[in-house]
Amino acid sequence: MRTVWIIARREFARYFTTPAAYLAAFLFLLILGIIFYANVAASAVKANLMGGYAPGVEIIVNPMVSLLVFIIPAITMRLLAEEQRMGTIELLLTSPVRDVELILGKWLGSFLFMSVLILITLVYPITLNQLVDPGIDWGTVLTGYLGLLLMAAAFTALGTAISALFSNQIAAFVATLALFLVLWLIGFPAQSMNASPIWQYLDFSQHFYNTLAQGILDLRDIVYYLSITALGIFAGTMIVETRRWR
């Protein structure tokens, strides 16, 4: 674990020296801030017209989920693609670092960075709690943010694996975003065509909006996101191992 932590700490620190990471973080927080302000302003108008209307935590959590789909590919695209482009991957593969340690370290560094971004946004529920009376449901906030962290863990694991396939960061970004959109939308055709429930089970959004975003803690959703995380780490390890034996 010491090797994993060294790699993770190095990757985490590199995000604070990478313009692309700063830009992604800035856009994430800026867009979420604009959405939050717009929803609060609209809620104030509705309260004046209808009376008794108070916005809930969904005005924060729901938009954040959609933003993760687009932000995380930008965060993970360079993890291994940059190493391959610069040729430093060969040094890593010949060093006394196991493939799984390399992938775990890369994943952990990106996940920690995304966790920091997500936790910074707690300022919005805190602000909202001061604006509405008698306050917001903090149980829903806790389950919602747990879902966001689990989703970030799964997304960053998949992004790490896809980054190992490419030496071009843009190609890694596009491939990762395409996969996320498929996983995000796969349940809609299944619902309309009465297809196998397996397609709905694979839908990322089904495991968030129907339970965690509503304040419902379902063990099946936690197992789902942890399974996707483990699958991404396993796939990344296999990709790196395959490259080692070329």
Provide φ and ψ at 162, rounded to 5°. Answer: -70, -35
Per residue in 19-49, pLDDT tens? 888 888 888 889 998 988 888 777 766 655 4
Token readout for 230 is 């483990």
Pairwise pLDDT comparison (52 vs 199), residue with the higher score: 199
Query: Which of 71-75, 83-87, 187-191 reaches the highest mean pLDDT?
Result: 71-75
Length of the chain: 246
User: The pTM is what?
Assistant: 0.88
Q: SS3 sequence, 93-132? A: HHCCCCHHHHHHHHHHHHHHHHHHHHHHCCHHHHHHHHHC
Rounded Cα distance, 10 and 13, in Å: 5
In this prediction, residues 71-81 reach a mean pLDDT of 89
What's the pLDDT score for residue 225?
93
Collect all residues with Cβ–Cβ distance below 8 Å to 104 and sequence separation of at least 6: 4, 7, 8, 233
**pLDDT value of position 48:** 56
Residues 6 or more apart whose CB falls under 8 angstroms from that of 117 comprise 25, 28, 29, 71
Q: 177-219 pLDDT, tens per residue? A: 999 988 887 766 655 556 566 777 777 878 888 888 888 888 9
* Residues 216, 40: Cα–Cα separation, whole Å: 24
How many CB atoms are located within 10 Å of the residue 1 CB? 9
- Cα–Cα distance between 43 and 84 in angstroms, integer? 49
Distance CA 59, CA 39 (A): 7
Residue 193 is predicted with a pLDDT of 59
Residue listed under structure tokens 């917001």: 136
What is the rounded distance in angstroms from the CA atom of residue 119 to the CA atom of residue 60?
12
Tokens 């960053």 map to which residue?
A: 156
**Proportion of the chain above pLDDT 90, given as a percent:** 33
CB 189 within 8 A of CB 170: no
**For position 246, what pLDDT does the model report?**
59
